[in-house]
Amino acid sequence: MNERDTLKVNNKGHLEIGGMDAVEIAKIYGTPVYVFDEAHIRNMMRVYKHTIEKFYKSNGLVVYASKAFSCMAVYAIAQSEGIGVDVVSGGELYTAIKAGFDSSKIYMHGNNKLPHELKLAIDNKIGTIVLDSYREVDMVDELAQQNGIIQNVLIRINPGVEAHTHEFIQTARTDSKFGFSVSDGAAQSITEYVLSKKNLRLRGFHCHIGSQIFETQSFIIAARKVMDFIAIIKKETGFESDTLNIGGGFGIWYNDEDPKLKLSDYENCLKSLINAVKEKAQEHGLNEPFLVIEPGRSIIGEAGITLYTVGAIKDIKGIKKYVAVDGGMFDNPRYALYQSKYTVMLANRASEPCTEKVSVAGKCCESGDLIAVDVSLPKAESGDIMAVLSTGAYNYSMASNYNRNFIPAAILVKDGKAEYIVKPQTYDDIIRNDVVPEYLK
Ligand code: LLP
Whats the size of the chain, residue-wise? 441
Output the pLDDT for position 166: 54
Query: Of all residues in the chain, what percent carry a pLDDT higher than 70?
Result: 96
Which of 266, 294, 300, 388 has the most ligand 1 atoms within 8 A of CB, as the residue to mutate?
A: 294
Inform me whether the pLDDT recorded for 431 exceeds 80.
Answer: yes
Threshold 0.85, pTM exceeds: yes
Tell me the pLDDT band of 401, cut-offs 50, 70 and 90: very high
Output the pLDDT for position 170: 53
What single letter denotes the amino acid at residue 7? L
Q: Give me the residues paired with residue 213 across strands.
A: 250
Find the angle CA(56)-CA(59)-CA(61) to the nearest 5 degrees. Answer: 105
Inform me whether the pLDDT recorded for 422 exceeds 80.
Answer: yes
d(CA 19, CA 4): 13
Do 301 and 393 contact (CB within 8 A), yes or no? yes
User: Which atom of ligand 1 sits closest to the CA of residue 395?
Assistant: 24
Output the pLDDT for position 1: 42
Average pLDDT over residues 12-36: 97
Residue 383, Cβ neighbours under 10 Å: how many?
Answer: 9
Buried b (16+ CB within 10 A) or exposed e, 168-194: ebbbbbeebebbbbbeeeebbebbebb
Average pLDDT over residues 93-108: 98
pLDDT one-digit tens code per residue, 154-207: 999 999 887 665 555 555 566 778 899 999 999 999 999 999 999 999 999 999
- Protein residue with least CA distance to atom 8, ligand 1: 248
Which of 41, 61, 62, 67 has the most ligand 1 atoms within 8 A of CB, as the residue to mutate?
A: 67
Inform me whether the pLDDT recorded for 393 exceeds 90.
Answer: yes
d(CA 420, CA 414): 12
Inform me whether the pLDDT recorded for 326 exceeds 60.
Answer: yes
Output the pLDDT for position 95: 98
Q: Would you say the CB of residue 154 lies under 6 angstroms from ligand 1?
A: no
Query: Catalytic positions, please?
Result: 365
Output the pLDDT for position 176: 78
DSSP 168-216: GGB--STT-SSSEESTTSHHHHHHHHHHT-TTEEEEEEE---BSSB--H
d(CA 372, CA 48): 31
- Protein residue with least CA distance to atom 24, ligand 1: 394
Q: Would you say the CB of residue 297 lies under 6 angstroms from ligand 1?
A: yes
